[in-house]
Structure 1
Amino acid sequence: MITKGAEPRSLTEHRAQAHSNYDNYTQKDELRAALVSEQKGLCCYCTGRIRANSTSMKIEHWRCQSDHAELQLVYANLLGACLGGDGRSAAEQHCDTRKGNLDLKWNPADSAHMIETKVRYLFDGTIESNDVDFNSQLNEVLGLNIGFLRSNRKAALDSVLAWWRSTPNAKTKIPQQINSRVNGLEHQPFSPVAVWFMREKLAGTTK
């Protein structure tokens, strides 16, 4: 889950001006930096790496601008997303690029939505949800199960599984492992997959 921090001062000041909108907000670099920092360098959807510049990320409106203009400058509605295969075929697109103006049921930055309880991972790297509607959105709206994303998640799972199998008394060391992965200024790409696995092991819900 993404924990939203304080919004950039430039966004607050811009929103207070008459006739302000997202297009005439000129300090998007400051916004990108804030989003990447609070997301620990990970895309809000696929959790791949993003950097705070326009060549490696997009500023995502969770509720799209075309249908929710009143939210276009609301910081809680703004997320940092990867480029999502921008310019590639539709079959290769994912995250914000594929989502476009479509809506999602759950927001990864809304603590009330508890996104971490809405998803799980299979050992082939597939992400899925027990929520039928959201499960469809993971595939059709966000494209999160295209081949290379599945492979990246599988690699993260394989790595933590290898640690689990090779570490004596691994279960007692899980809290420390989780702490090291969820704190710090920057997370490893796809690290939420490993954290999910360890929490499942701690709870005794995976074999």
Structure 2
Amino acid sequence: MIYIRKKKTPVFLRECQSDPFITFKNLRGIDKKQLRESLCDEQNGLCAYCMKRIRPTESGMKVEHLDPQSHNAGNDLDYNNLLAVCYGNTSDASREHTCDTCKGDRELHISPLRPDIESMIQYRRNGLIAASDKLPDHTKTEVNTDLNEILNLNHKDLQNNRKAVLEGYLIALSRRKEKGKLPDSFWKAEETRYKSGERRTEEYKGIILDYIGKKLRRGKH
């Protein structure tokens, strides 16, 4: 999970919002299509929670209400409350559910819309995601509950996929090192590549950005 910077509400959605008879449930097919495309593009084709690759089609993603509709029905067309997410193993047993499918109508303490979200979580080399050690104990408990129980982001498949992505990155990185050190400029350029450059659509890139961030903070290359 990394920070998602929301863009302006698309024109077509503003028009829908101005009609009191239009709700999320009765959006026209063409409007739903445009909404999926807008959200998916905004998120570089990655699920807002697990960062699995998604597609802007009816079968390729779902539209998630961060603040559940059951808690705030009047918020159902608020673009700032909408995210693109994967199907989260919808067809499997409930213990296999992840992301929005696991979350349901529960509220989160964390959110990919928080500018500080990346400082609230950390990744292990084995692919596990957890609350940052720097958080106060009560906040750490809340964040870990969100990650493990509400979103199930440490599902074995997600953990293994993140681990594989990091291992592949480290292998590629080892070929570029000179005398065991790389300058800050390299890590800053890497961060840009994964946030807004050619690697912005990389699946599970949160674990790579976490690794790069640690390098930048520690200054040990």
TM-score class, shorter: over 0.9
Aligned to 1:125: 127
Contact 1:171 1:201 in 2 (8 A): no
Mark the runs of 5 or more structure 2 residues left unpaired by the alignment: 133-139
Aligned partner of 1:202 in structure 2 is 216
1:4-153 to structure 2, matched below 5 A, reads 4-26=6-28, 27-111=31-115, 114-130=116-132, 131-153=140-162
- TM-score by length of structure 1 reads 0.93
TM-score if structure 2 supplies the norm length? 0.87
Runs of 4+ in 1 over 6 A off after TM superposition: none
SS of 1:120's equivalent? strand
Q: Which aligned pairs between 1:150-189 and structure 2 lie closer than 5 A?
A: 150-166=159-175, 167-168=177-178, 169-172=181-184, 173-184=186-197, 186-189=200-203
CA contact (8 A) 2:69 2:76 kept: yes
TM-aligned CA deviation for residue 163 of structure 1 = 3.8
Structure 1 distance, partners of 2:106, 2:20, is 29
The residue type equivalent to 2:193 in the other structure is S
Identity of aligned residues (%): 31
Q: Which residue type is aligned with residue 177 of structure 1?
A: E
Contact 2:120 2:131 in 1 (8 A): yes
**1:205 to partner: Cα distance:** 7.8
Amino acid at match of 1:4: K
Q: CA deviation at 1:53?
A: 0.6
- SS, match of residue 170 in structure 1: coil
Q: C-alpha displacement at 1:170, in angstroms?
A: 2.4
Cα distance in 2, alignment partners of residues 106 and 137 from structure 1: 7
Alignment length (residue pairs):
205
Over residues 20-59 of structure 1, what are the superposed CA-to-partner deviations in whole Å (9 max), with x where a residue is unaligned? 3111221111010010111001000000101101101000
Counterpart code for 1:193: I
Residue ranges of structure 1 left out of the alignment (5+ in a row): none
CA-to-aligned-CA distance 1:114-141 (integer Å, 9 cap, x gap): 1111110011100000421111111100
Determine the C-alpha separation between the residues in 1 that align with 2:219 and 2:98: 30
How far did residue 157 of structure 1 move?
Answer: 1.6
CA separation in 2, counterparts of 1:171 and 1:57?
Answer: 39
Tell me the amino acid that sits aligned with residue 119 of structure 2: T
Equivalent position SS for 1:155: helix
Aligned-pair Cα RMSD in Å: 1.7
1:164 is displaced (CA, Å) by 4.0
The separation in 2 between residues aligned to 1:52 and 1:11, in whole angstroms, is 16
